[in-house]
Structure 1
Amino acid sequence: MVQSSLSNPSARLHGLDLARYLALAGMVAVNFRLALGVEEGPSLLNQLVGLLEGRAAATFVVLAGVGFALAFAGRQHPTTAILKRATFLFILGLINLLIFEADILHFYAAYFLLGAVVLLLPPAWLPVIVIALPLGFIGLTLLFDYDTGWDWTSLAYTDLWTVPGFLRNLMFNGWHPVVPWFAFFACGMAIAKLQLRERRTQATLVVCGLALLAASVALSQLTSTFLGPLSGLKPVPPGPFFIMGGCGTAMAVIGLCLLAFESRLLSKSFSVLLPAGRQTLTLYIAHILLGMGTLEAIGLLGAGTIESALLATLTFMLIATIFSWLWSRRFKAGPLEALMRKLAG
């Protein structure tokens, strides 16, 4: 949701906007399936959406790390601007949390604050952070009960609005806890330091990303007997191989999207999607307020099918694409993006 501050449109890495669009579409599909109460099943459509679970959000966070580094790494004294944006996202996330308990924005605020610290460190620390956080999460599960606060039957967090419960949820066992999810953000910050305009770099991202994804699957299977749930590839609990696979997925998606804009034909074909990819903060909130609000109004919340969830996703993304394109004809930034820039710089 955070984008580069490059002012020259021709210098923009359009592939990153396309990757944001695809990550948003994946998150919408997962969240609509969750909202409609569709349980996991053997159908092909259910399996396909299941593959997106956690990975779409992970790609979103990696892209946030890329955008964060591109926007702030070259600035002098960026801390004030980062603090303002973190505060904006935290407040917006708390408001959204009242409606949607799987909100990711208040976690973004924490990622930003940690990102401000990481900017002060040598680049060599980034891979260390990416590796250390998943291992640290395993250590935390040995010290604390991961299930604390959760009612898994209703997916409700019982003490979320208490200080201990909120901090536990934010740091350890929420939907996108800082440990280990900040590893995705740090991965994005590391990717931002690469020569992303070079085709060789783009292809390397695809190959390395797919290799990481394949390795995560293999290692998950090999370690299942002694790591148990922590060996899984699902986001709950976010074990080390979920983090590995999420980083790999994000790298492959980013590389493929950047490569797509090396082709004149593909770049023209995908150009209509780019405005929505630049307005993901607005569209993220819209898919909750308007998308889920509409689903509730027509009586589908908790009573839908995978087909209806995907139809709702396609409908929302079509409307979002058209809206964003029309909005971009008059304004440089989306509504919430413009508000954040005005209030937080």
Structure 2
Amino acid sequence: MSTEGTVSFEGEPRTGRHRMLALDAARGLAVIGMIAINTGPRGDDSPLELLYRVPYGRASLLFVLLGGIGLSLMTRRSRLQRAPLPWAGLLWAGLLWRCALLMLGGLALQSLDHGVSVILQIYALLILFSLPLLRASGRSLLVVSGLSAVAGPPLWILVQAQTDGGFDRDPVSATDQIGEILTGIVITGPYPLIVWAAPFVFGLWLGRQKLSEATISTRLLIWGAAAAVGARLLSPVLVAMFGEPTSHLDWQRLFSAVAHSQMPLWLISGTGSAVFVLGLCLKIHTWSHPLASPLVYLGQLALTAYIGHLLILALIVRPGPDTLAQGVLATASTVAALMIFAWLWRQRFSRGPFEVLLRTPTLRRTTR
């Protein structure tokens, strides 16, 4: 879901339009990656399935990184013009509305039989967590992001150790108690805020950069690739030196780069991959071409597409797929259906059906 998929500002130059289309395209790629991983299957280690699972642990990080960028762009005017802070103005109410819908919607969607850990709940709390940071300096944002990446994983292990591994990382749903919901989203769930704040806050920082400049996109490509490859290669070296972890409570887990391990090397590598994809999308200057519009529109209707794929999984796909061929077919069919819907919808409407719900009239007046 786009925190700000197609926002535009009066008088924004053409380079600004290209930036937004590139962000939409990157968000569309993140949606496709999540659809592939959520559809499955998983479990086979054949070369083809390993290739199919490349987005695992990367697409969701790209999605969250783009969410931070979107929030940064959406609140840009308030920050640059030194307007009242969000909690002193109408923007605060709009963001609270957005968070409430994402939270309630995510909890409700988690109850469906799709077998997916819904990401909307952590998305909502990440926005709330970031509100005090909207006026923070760029250096402060990098410090917070770094602290989350470095201190979040040890804290995650420490909590597990103190509870004897008592939490099972299951996603929370509407049937859980409020305390369980908050604990699950912040620490014990599949997307713990103490760890996932890192890519989101880093996205806040990226949103302040001149992403339309060629030098910036080049740096994103270089540094993103270096982080993605470097952290991944460092992991087996450290494991060889210090040994394999023997349990979820073992501090040697900190050397793991396994996807969704919540460990620093995976976080750095996966976020590096996300930054690389973002830089690549910014380098491409043909997103306004009609042939690219299905991907761009899919990114602009990211929330609708995300909800749509959960419904398709729950009502049509599950309990399958059982083979890689079935998974590829189901993924391709789902993506094609959602792209067609997004293209048809955007011929008449500027906002997706669920995106409209996030954009209250109050929020629109504040951000233009």
What TM-score results when the alignment is normalised by the length of structure 1? Answer: 0.88
For residues 129 and 232 of structure 2, what CA distance do their matches in structure 1 show? 29
Residues 95-123 of structure 1: CA distance to partner in whole angstroms, max 9, x if unpaired? 11212550110111100001111113222
Aligned 8 A contact 2:153 2:195 in 1: no
| 2:312–2:334 CA contact under 8 A, matched in 1 | no
* 8 A Cα contact 2:301 2:342, kept in partner: yes
* Identity level (%): 27
Equivalent position of 1:330 in the other structure: 348
Structure 1: 5+ residue runs without aligned partners? none
Q: Structure 2 counterpart of 1:18, which letter?
A: A
- What is the aligned length? 332
**Change in 2 beyond 3 A, CA 1:306/1:143:** same
Q: Deviations over 1:52-104 (max 9, x none)?
A: 11110000000011111000132233322221211111111111121255011
2:323 to 297, 305, 320: 305
C-alpha change, 1:343 and 1:223, in structure 2 (3 Å) is farther
Match of 1:40 in 2: 43
Q: Distance in 2 between matches of 1:222 and 1:23?
A: 30
TM-superposed CA distance for 1:157, in Å, is 7.1
Distance 1:158 1:80 in 2: 25
Number of the residue aligned with 1:274: 296
Deviations 1:204-226 (A, max 9, x none): 11111001111111221222235
1:249 aligned residue (273, 276, 279): 273
User: For the structure 1 residues 126 and 156, does the alpha-carbon distance in structure 2 shift closer, same or farther, using more than 3 Å as the test?
Assistant: closer
The correspondence for 1:6, drawn from 5, 8, 11, is 8
Match of 1:30 in 2: 37
Q: Relative to structure 1, is the Cα distance of residues 138 and 149 closer, same or farther in structure 2, using a 3 angstrom cutoff?
A: closer
CA distance in 1, matches of 2:325, 2:254: 31
> Given that residues 89 and 106 in structure 1 are in contact (C-alpha distance below 8 angstroms), is that contact kept between their aligned partners in structure 2?
yes
CA contact (8 A) 1:260 1:267 kept: no
Q: Which residue of structure 2 lines up, in the alignment, with residue 284 of structure 1?
A: 306
Instruction: Tell me, yes or no, if structure 1 residue 219 matches structure 2 residue 234.
Output: yes
Q: Whole-Å Cα distance in 2 between the matches of residues 303 and 250 of structure 1? A: 27
**Amino acid across the alignment from 1:323:** F
Determine the C-alpha separation between the residues in 2 that align with 1:157 and 1:27.
19
Q: Label 1:289 to 1:204 Cα distance change in 2 as closer, same or farther (>3 A).
A: same
What's the offset of the Cα at 1:194? 1.1
> Paired residue for 1:98?
111
The letter for the 2-side match of 1:116 is L
- Call closer, same or farther: CA 1:164–1:80 in 2, change over 3 Å: closer
- Following TM superposition, by how much is the alpha carbon of 1:180 offset from its aligned partner in structure 2, in angstroms? 0.5
Alpha-carbon distance change, 156 to 73 in structure 1, aligned in 2, over 3 angstroms: closer
> Which consecutive residues of structure 2, in runs of 5 or more, have no partner in the other structure?
244-250, 364-368
Matched letter for residue 70 of structure 2:
G
Q: Which residue, 152, 159, 171 being the options, matches 1:137? A: 152
Name the CA distance, whole Å, in 1 between partners of 2:354 and 2:209. 29
Q: Per-residue deviation at 1:290?
A: 2.3
- Listed as ranges, the matches of 1:144-155 within 5 Å are 144-145=159-160, 147-150=165-168
Residue 7 of structure 1 deviates from its aligned partner by: 4.7
The aligned residue for residue 61 of structure 2 is 58
How many Å separate the matches in 1 of 2:139 and 2:67? 20
> TM-score, with normalisation over the residues of structure 2?
0.83
